[in-house]
Amino acid sequence: MSNSTNKKQDLQDVIFAIACPLSFEILLWIVYFIGQNTSFNLALLGIHPLDFKGLIGIITAPVIHLDFDHILSNSTSFFVIAFGLCILYKRKAISVFFFIYVLSGLWGWFLARGGYHIGASGLIYGMYFFLVTSAFIKRERKTIAFALLITFLYGAIVWGFFPIFFPGKNISWEIHTTGAIAGILAAFYFRKDGPQRINLFEDEQEDENEDDENSYWKIPENNVSKENNDERNNYN
């Protein structure tokens, strides 16, 4: 593959990695402005555990946000983490995203406490733990580098498992937890996809072994002639 083809592919991958999370965030903000300008309470479309009507929240809850601070904080972290997911896993990132989307919401419907659960934080936790777990599993340098970056930027999200640290705020720690578990499970399920570790030492060993084998069979012509003469003499 030529350099121009590689550059074109790299550009397409970057555009894809920007367009996908940006498209989802545009949807978040459209839904937010609709909610702010209508009398209908969109929170009623959130996940309502063990309520048949609340099943719709598995699909709708991640795009609904309570207020401006809620959607702003989720938007920034979502874009950065989703960008990394898309740039590393390319088109497979869509499968990973929806795996986390559906599984975290479904588990939340079964396990969360009463009330309506809304927001994209479950997806953020899912993608974050997917990338960090993938870094541990694969030990591939690009994945490790990005996992370290998002841990530096957003590692404090682990406190979201403990609502005691957010007095006065109704934190959905259950959806955070189901999102994180879904992300970890996805990391194992998709471990053969995305960037893979290249063991340079093994490749060098294989090359050396091939050279050794080739050199074994390459007998100089002079030696062959001498051996043939020796065999003829012995036979006579």
User: What are 74-96's pLDDT values in tens digits?
Assistant: 999 999 999 999 999 998 999 99
- 218 phi and psi angles, rounded to 5 deg: -85, 90
* 23 & 92 share domain: yes
The answer, yes or no, to whether residue 56 has pLDDT greater than 80, is yes
Q: Tokens for 3?
A: 């350099």
Q: Tokens for 142?
A: 């690009």
The pLDDT, as a whole number, for residue 47 is: 95
> For residue 226, what pLDDT band results from cuts at 50, 70 and 90?
very low
Q: Are 89 and 82 in contact (CB under 8 A)?
A: no
* 204 & 89 share domain: no
* 98 & 127 share domain: yes
- Alpha-carbon torsion, ordered 38, 44, 47, 53, to 10 deg: -130
The pLDDT, as a whole number, for residue 2 is: 65
Q: Which residue has the tokens 């938007």?
A: 75
* 185 & 204 share domain: no
Higher pLDDT, 195 or 80: 80
The CATH number of the domain holding residue 70 is: 1.20.1540.10
> For residue 235, what pLDDT band results from cuts at 50, 70 and 90?
very low
The pLDDT, as a whole number, for residue 130 is: 97
Q: How many domains are there within the chain?
A: 2
pLDDT tens-digit profile of 123-158?
999 999 999 999 999 999 999 999 999 999 998 888
Q: Are 121 and 172 in contact (CB under 8 A)?
A: yes
Q: Tokens for 133?
A: 């777990």
Q: CA 112, CA 199: separation in Å to the nearest integer?
A: 43
Does residue 195 lie in a domain region? Answer: no
> For residue 234, what pLDDT band results from cuts at 50, 70 and 90?
very low
pLDDT tens-digit profile of 5-21?
778 888 888 999 999 99
- Residue 221 lies in domain: 200-235
